[in-house]
Structure 1
């Protein structure tokens, strides 16, 4: 391969570019990014950057040495509009195109919006965070729709700024489908302990200058409204490419599409029937996808660790593995009422998941057996 196009200047895209060089590829690498910014890390957007304690420069994923050694051809501020596999060409929004013998799809996704909330703030990109940070002036009332990781982290940051915060969640408890009722109650307690007004089991109908309108006709007064209700994978540009797209780019166990010269990584990749929208997943996929791209076939497979973390208020939450609702939950250190504990899920006598609050050392020891090598 003389040239490889990495479509998406995300963490997954950067890791793919780094892996190409690490695995000995010395051809051209074009990194295409819709944003004007050099690749940056997203987790701090809802925390240190939003709080004003981190700069945009501190988020950059590549330093001067990386830029020199990787020798990337950056195409920033342009969006991929189509992929023509027969011509081995990626077409761009500025009318140009890139000829590539191989393609890494790392386009991630866009923040999902709710009907009636088109003017609400979202938090997916650096520009989103800049806009939201500017709105968080002293005295504003903040309403957040969605108590997932993003919603909880934004709520935590807003409380650290001394703002009044209401979090509206349709589920009976935050993250209940992922964590189960007992651990979801821990997440709810974190909100309550830090003065956030968490309201679960409520529906929303829209927003106005007065605030958020609930499905029961009542109003939650707010000056700033943020929606954190997930993301939509960025796959529209692949229409007509021949690739199978269904809630993401469908790939095999080695992250390879139907075309061996095209792989997908990060939030946009769907394998085993699902996508994994986690920082660790985006980073860990790159070595496997790149190895298969360079081999021209699926020679390695990827096993997700399921690891995700979230900093909320005074707590660091960590989760690894793939527990199911019917798995048995037990606490191996501490209990759900304490400020530090570790719990495990078991299935057929084996540990299949680990969760911790403020206990990284034991968590890391217990999660180690969950990890499986990504080589067949």
Structure 2
């Protein structure tokens, strides 16, 4: 059984069948839509470049053809570990032999703000897409990936856009000031205005009010201030939770019959020497398949590097690795303008890297460099004439 009906769940169900598992597979989700991918919700689908059908992981007929039962529109609300039974909100109870928790995450709410948009679900993207079609002014709280991608979509649709962010640059906690400034410049070049060092404090009568008292015209207000893992079911069942459901390197919880993957899983990472909970597409894609392998008895060591990508205007980027404020010593940039690599170093070792519009020497070489743990020559690393593959 799989609780959760996102990308990790769909990929786990697919992997179970691909691995030859012939038993019952049930996917339980609280949304009415079958499993879909979330990146298009702030990218191609929001822009109107992708049709609705393109966001779904599998075609509508795939589940029936592969004997995967979808129980949608009624969330799991209880987990009896002793009886190995999951209880749904509609009162039904379903037994399991192995259970995968792939419950994902939920957009954080801004206290005191009403009449605003959040972007996490397909229905959220539908509503926001309709709002942007009006062309009215848009105010966005938060300059993370969601905030910036929505800003790009809104500007592409001709909406005036103001982004309100308490940090001094966009993506400050993710990329640091060195690369956050680059993304600020990209958006300013497309007419986006920023209000750094402030937060939204109120929304009323077509006006968004910042914490320093500024009033900004706002036909549409979007809040993108992060997400929290959906751990309630695990917590009620007594499973260990620490910024996500605690699992081992095989994605197993302390209960030998229960696994977790995707946004909700807190997984030990040997490369960084700490637990990581990753909220991005790549983790759901790989984690669902890995969990399925573990559930059928294969030896699994889940050691995927965190990976994410973003598209904003004509800027495409991919990032691999992990950095936190204070965890790196320097950033080395390789290339200029809007075509470059950036590397985050701790000592003389690359711990994270990204490329912007450098598809000929893309993220694969970056990932290999991180995994190698090799000491690098900083001057050569920053020299575009030296192939990444030789470092």
- Under a length normalisation based on structure 1, what TM-score does the superposition of the two structures give? 0.92
Per-residue deviation at 1:216? 1.5
State the partner residue of 1:145: 141
Alignment pair present for 1:355 and 2:351: no
The 8 Å contact of residues 6 and 106 in structure 1, kept in 2 or not, is answered as yes
- What's the counterpart of residue 346 of structure 1? 345
Q: Which residue number corresponds to residue 100 of structure 1?
A: 96
Conserved? CA contact 2:320–2:363, under 8 Å: no
Contact 1:17 1:70 in 2 (8 A): no
**What's the Cα RMSD here?**
1.9
Partners of 1:43 and 1:227 lie apart in 2 by 17
Matched residues in 1 for 2:207 and 2:267: separation? 40
Task: Find the counterpart in structure 2 of residue 24 from structure 1.
Answer: 20
Match of 1:289 in 2: 291
* Alignment correspondent of 1:271: 267
Matched, 1:71 2:74: no
Q: How far 1:78 moved relative to its partner? A: 0.9
SS of the counterpart of 2:103? coil
Structure 1, 207-216 or 89-98: larger mean CA deviation: 207-216
Instruction: Tell me how far apart the structure 2 counterparts of residues 61 and 76 of structure 1 sit (CA, whole Å).
Output: 15
Residue-pair matches, total: 364
Structure 1 residues 181 and 366, CA, compared in 2 at 3 Å: closer, same or farther? Answer: same
What do the CA deviations read for 1:95-143 (whole angstroms, capped 9, x no partner)?
1121111111111011111112232100100011111112223341100
State whether residues 105 and 264 of structure 1, in contact with CA within 8 Å, keep that contact through their aligned partners in structure 2.
Answer: yes
User: 2:331 pairs with 306, 329, 332, which one?
Assistant: 329
**SS class of match (2:153):** helix
Counterpart for residue 193 of structure 2? 197
Provide the residue aligned with 2:108 in structure 1. 112
Q: SS state of the match for residue 132, structure 1?
A: helix
1:320 paired with 2:320, answer: yes
Cα distance, 1:372 vs. partner? Answer: 5.5
Kindly state the Cα deviation for residue 171 of structure 1 after the two structures are TM-superposed. 0.6
Q: What is the CA deviation profile of residues 238-290 of structure 1, one whole-angstrom value per residue up to 9, with x for unaligned ones?
A: 34312112332111122110111100011111123331011001111123322
Partner of 2:386 in structure 1? none
Contact 1:342–1:362 (CA under 8 A) maintained in structure 2: no
Mapped partners of 1:186, 1:33: distance in 2: 39
Question: Do the aligned residues in 1 keep the contact of 2:339 with 2:357 (CA within 8 Å)?
Answer: yes
Distance 2:235 2:199 in 1: 34
Provide the C-alpha distance between the structure 2 equivalents of 1:365 and 1:247, rounded to a whole number of angstroms: 29
1:206, 1:213 within 8 Å by CA — same for their partners in 2? Answer: yes
Query: Quick one: which of 38, 47, 64 aligns to 1:51?
Result: 47
Q: Deviations over 1:173-216 (max 9, x none)?
A: 01122212111110111110111112211122122123221112
Q: Match of 2:385?
A: none
After superposing on structure 2, the runs of 4+ consecutive aligned residues of structure 1 that deviate more than 3 Å are 370-373
The answer for the alignment partner of 2:166 in structure 1 is 170
Counterpart position of 1:233: 229
Whole-angstrom CA distance in 2 between matches of 1:287 and 1:133: 32
- Extract unaligned runs of 5+ from structure 2: 269-274, 373-391
Contact 1:321–1:370, Cα closer than 8 Å, also in 2: no
* SS of structure 2 residue aligned to 1:256: coil
* Contact 1:11/1:39, CA 8 A, preserved across alignment: yes
The residue aligned with 2:384 is none
Contact kept, 8 Å, 1:211 with 1:225, in 2: the verdict is no
Match of 2:380 in 1: none
**Cross-structure match for 2:58:** 62
